[in-house]
Structures are given as structure tokens and as C-alpha cells.
Amino acid sequence: MLVVEDDPAIGSELVEALASNGYQAVLATTGGEALERVRDGVPDLVLLDLGLPDIDGVTVCRRLRTTLPFTVIVVLTARSQEFEVVVALDAGADDYLTKPFRLTELLARLRAHLRRQTSPQEERSLSVGLLRLDLPARRAYVAGEELALRPKEFDLLAALASHAGEVVTREQLMDDVWDANWFGPTKTLDVHVFALRRKLTEHGEDPQRITTLRGRGYRYEIDV
Ligand code: CA
């Protein structure tokens, strides 16, 4: 995730708040720096302040959209710049928030966007290692053989595999797979991961494919 905000206090506060909610974010304080950053790696989401000192936010948005067709762009705007929102949406932004906004609202928007954010092709099928997921049909195959999965097991596998190579936190998994309002013990998550691992290995997948990060979450490995 990339945060583009020229006010260093707001910027670092945002990055910290995102980090404590399980999102890895880097900060760029100018439009130029933002455009520079995305040359090194494609962020899944960009939070873009429209009032930037060097290049105007709408131009940054348009340039980002050209190089990053599948990245979610959420623009942040001051009340006095509200007219720019329409222009930014035309320039390819997906959503906007008017400052000051509540962190809970920002997080809710991000969650919704990240859930939806996949290219049309990725939306249909997903392949990692020997695994292939047919998402619309909710079917999972390992080396061409279909796995018999319970609904929650399929959701969990999809949540992990769609973030292959990244840590998915326990909180994120509980939110995405079980209920946004879950509370209490999360042992059910470990039980489901255990079952998934067994079913995957039975069909020839590597037992190291799902890595446990004790107390933090799980990672579906791209290479094992
Ligand atoms: Ca600003």
C-alpha cells in the first residue's frame, strides 16, 4: 500500500494506523516520489492526497492509473478541494474521502476495496503451485484433482492463496472468512488450516505450502 501525503505528521500517522491494522504501507511525501515508488513495485492500493506540493494530485492519479490498471486509488481531499474529486474520479480514482475522516471509516473502505480488487481474469481463477482455484464455481484442484472442501475451508484457501507470498493476519482471516464482528477465541482458524494442509498434501501438494507465523497469521508460499 502506498500513502501519498505531503503533511509528514498526517502521513506517518496514517502509515502507523495502517500498520497496526495489518497493512504494510510506505509513505511518499510528493507526487514525484509516489510515481518513483511505483516503479519498484505495484501497490494493491494507493491513498492519494490531492493537495501535493509538486505535481497536482489529479495528474498524479492519472499517471498512476496509466501504469497501474488494477491498483485501487482512494483520493484524500480537503473540504476546500471538493470540486477536484469529480476530476479525480474521471482521472481513474476509485473512491475518495474528505478530510478530516475517521480512521474506522477509512479502514472499512479499504477492506471493501481490497476484497473486490482483482483483475477480471484473476477473479475467475487463481493458480499457485499445484493449486488451481475456480472462484466463481468455488472449486479447488491440486494437480488437476478436485479437493473436497467445506465452504469455510474453500473461503480460507481462497483468502490465503489470493495473497500468496504475503502474511495474512489472523484478524484479517477471521474478518474475511468468518464474520466481520467475530470476537473471542480463534482456534477454529487453526483447525481449518490444519484440515486444509492435510487435504492439500493428500493430493501431492507440499506440506510447507502454508506457513504458520505464530500469533500473527499464515502465509501461502509461492515457492516451497
Ligand atoms: Ca496536502
pLDDT tens digits for 199-220?
999 999 999 999 999 989 999 9
CA distance 218 to 224: 14
The CA 49 to ligand 1 mean position distance, Å, reads 6
Please measure the distance between the N-terminal and C-terminal CA atoms of the chain and give it in whole angstroms.
Answer: 26
Q: Helix or strand or coil: residue 33?
A: helix
Q: What integer is the mean pLDDT of 5-16?
A: 94
| Cβ count within 10 A of residue 105 | 10
Contact call for residues 160 and 210 (beta carbons, < 8 A) = yes
Q: Which three cell numbers stand for residue 98?
A: 474528505
What pTM, to 2 d.p., does this model score? 0.55
CA distance 158 to 33: 34
Do the bridges between strand 95-99 and strand 72-78 make them parallel or antiparallel, or are there none, so unpaired?
Answer: parallel
Q: Which amino acid is it at 113?
A: H
The CA 118 to ligand 1 mean position distance, Å, reads 29
The CA 95 to ligand 1 mean position distance, Å, reads 17
Of 15-24, 103-112, 116-125, 160-169, the poorest mean pLDDT is in: 116-125
The CA 57 to ligand 1 mean position distance, Å, reads 9
Predicted confidence (pLDDT) per residue in 131-143, tens digit = 999 887 889 999 8
Contact call for residues 150 and 157 (beta carbons, < 8 A) = no
User: Which residues make Cβ contacts (< 8 Å) with residue 47, sequence separation at least 6?
Assistant: 1, 2, 3, 4, 5, 14, 25, 74, 76, 106
The CA 92 to ligand 1 mean position distance, Å, reads 19
The CA 5 to ligand 1 mean position distance, Å, reads 6
Q: 475467475: which residue's cell? A: 124
